[in-house]
Every structure is written in structure tokens, then in C-alpha cells.
């Protein structure tokens, strides 16, 4: 019979899975939705009057708060003191699930509270309504980027990344799933668990109408990804060794 700890962790892992897919889906729609010609007509040039400048800067400062909230919790919840807290209250099994739930809801709060300036200024605009090829290129780029992100998530063990695998292994009296991975892979996962820097950069920057608010989000998240996920020489060597092993295995299979 499952313990209360396992039951609570199982519910939290399901909630984490639902929250992650829902919040990422909302983010995908938010970033991929093109700017229409009608919205473009409401835009204005860069403000010069003090009142217009304040009206433009207020949404930027407002959005920075929510972006910072997401970044801080996304990094802060990985701290050892937080992990010790979950262990102290008996929720260490659901640590990964709680991390994903917090990230998902902070992302949803960001999207819900996102503000745009009344007179929008755009760094660039391309009319996709009159150019079907450009519209398809934009949509295909986002779809392909998310496929790469999802594929990368599967490669880094998506069930374990969300928190489902930890509960399954514990219920079946197995060691934590990370303990079955090689030491090199464990070290790599401690430094980087996020898939595809390029894929996420594409969905952030590929838009037909780049507003100041959207540019702010793209700049902060791109810099955050670069510094937080920056691979080391050891990581590159590990990838090289794994690639050579895969090639050797394929050669043996094809013989």
C-alpha cells in the first residue's frame, strides 16, 4: 500500500506534468502569434514627450518585475537550502515536481500580467498578412523550434525532469532514477538540464513585430539562458565521447 508521502508526491507529479504542458503551450501561443496589420496601425514612433515616454516605460518596468520573479524562482529553488527544506518536511520525493509547478505558475503569472504600451513602438515589422510565404516561414520556424525543444526534453529524460519517474521508482522500492545514470551524466545534468538554447532563442526572437516589451523579454531570457546553461569544456568532451559511441554502435548494427 502506498504511503501518504508517495500519494502526495504522485498527485504533485501529475499536477507538475499538467502545469508544464499547459504553461509552455500558453507561452508558445504568446510568442508565435503574429502582429496583424490592424494592430500595426495603432503603433506610434519612438516617444519624445515626457508623458509619452512615461507611458512607454511603465509597462517595461512592470514586465521586468514578472520576468525577474520567474528568473529568481527558477534559479533560487535549485539552491541546497531549498532542497533541505523539502527533505525536512518530507517532500523530498516531490522536489522536482514542486520546482516545475512553481516555474509553471510563475510563467502563467507573467503572461497574465503582461502589459503593453498604449502607443506601441516596434523595432521591426513585417506584414505577414500580405506575404503568405513569410507567414509560413514564421510559423514553421516556431513549430520546428518547439519540436527541437521537446525532442531535447525527451533526450534528457522527460519523466525524470518533470518528477514522475522519482515517484514510480520509490513506489517500486527502487533507488532514485538519477543513481542509475553514469557519474559523467549526473555531473552534466547538475550543470545543464534545459534542452536547446537555439530552439528557445528562435521562439523568442522570431516575430514579425518586435515591440520594446517583447525585446526586453527576449534579451533577458537569452542572457539568462546563456549564462545559466553555458556548457563547459568537460560537457563538450562528454558529448563528443557519446557521439563516437553512438557511431560505433550504428556501425556494428549495420554490419
Q: Which residue has the cell 513585430?
A: 209
Question: CA-to-CA distance for 10 and 248, rounded, in angstroms?
Answer: 39
Q: Are 103 and 70 in contact (CB under 8 A)?
A: yes
Least confident of 79-83, 218-222, 234-238: 234-238
pLDDT score of 1 more than 50: no
Can you tell me the mean pLDDT for 212-232? 86
What tens digit of pLDDT does each residue of 115-171 get?
Answer: 887 777 888 888 888 888 999 999 999 999 999 888 888 877 888 888 889 998 988
Phi/psi at 123 (nearest 5 deg)?
Answer: -70, -35
- pLDDT at residue 251 is higher than 80: no
Q: Name the β-bridge partners of 124.
A: 210
C-alpha span between 157 and 181 (Å, rounded): 11
Report which of residues 69 and 242 the model is more confident about. 69
What mean pLDDT is reported for the chain?
A: 85
pLDDT at 143: 94
pLDDT of residue 35: 87
pLDDT at 253: 65
Rounded distance between C-alpha atoms, residue 255 and residue 1, angstroms: 49
Flag whether pLDDT at 252 surpasses 90: no
In the chain, % of residues over pLDDT 90: 37
Task: Give me the pLDDT at residue 176, please.
Answer: 86
pLDDT at 74 over 50: yes
At 35, give phi and psi (nearest 5°): -85, 130
Q: Is the dihedral of CA 5, 6, 11, 13 positive or negative?
A: positive
Q: Which whole number is the average pLDDT over 31-40?
A: 85
The 10s digit of each residue's pLDDT in 47-60 is 667 776 777 788 88
Amino acid at each position: 500500500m502506498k504511503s501518504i508521502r508517495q500519494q502526495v508526491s504522485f498527485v504533485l507529479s501529475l499536477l507538475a506534468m499538467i502545469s508544464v504542458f499547459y504553461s509552455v503551450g500558453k507561452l508558445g501561443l504568446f510568442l508565435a502569434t503574429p502582429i496583424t496589420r490592424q494592430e500595426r496601425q495603432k503603433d506610434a514612433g519612438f516617444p519624445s514627450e515626457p508623458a509619452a515616454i512615461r507611458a512607454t516605460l511603465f509597462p517595461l518596468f512592470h514586465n521586468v518585475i514578472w520576468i525577474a520573479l520567474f528568473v529568481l524562482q527558477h534559479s533560487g529553488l535549485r539552491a541546497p537550502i531549498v532542497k533541505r527544506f523539502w527533505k525536512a518536511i518530507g517532500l523530498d520525493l516531490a522536489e522536482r515536481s514542486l520546482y516545475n509547478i512553481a516555474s509553471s505558475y510563475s510563467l502563467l503569472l507573467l503572461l497574465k500580467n503582461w502589459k503593453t504600451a498604449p502607443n506601441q513602438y516596434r523595432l521591426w515589422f513585417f506584414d505577414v498578412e500580405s506575404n503568405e510565404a513569410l507567414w509560413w516561414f514564421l510559423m514553421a520556424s516556431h513549430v520546428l523550434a518547439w519540436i527541437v525543444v521537446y525532442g531535447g526534453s525527451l533526450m534528457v529524460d522527460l519523466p525524470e525532469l518533470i518528477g514522475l519517474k522519482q515517484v514510480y521508482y520509490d513506489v517500486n522500492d527502487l533507488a532514485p532514477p538519477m543513481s542509475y545514470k553514469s557519474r559523467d551524466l549526473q555531473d552534466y545534468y547538475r550543470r545543464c538540464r534545459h534542452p536547446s538554447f537555439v530552439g528557445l532563442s528562435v521562439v523568442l526572437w522570431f516575430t514579425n513585430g518586435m515591440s520594446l516589451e517583447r525585446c526586453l523579454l527576449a534579451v533577458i531570457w537569452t542572457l539568462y539562458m546563456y549564462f545559466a546553461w553555458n556548457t563547459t569544456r568537460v560537457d563538450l568532451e562528454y558529448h563528443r565521447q557519446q557521439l563516437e559511441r553512438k557511431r560505433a554502435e550504428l556501425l556494428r548494427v549495420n554490419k
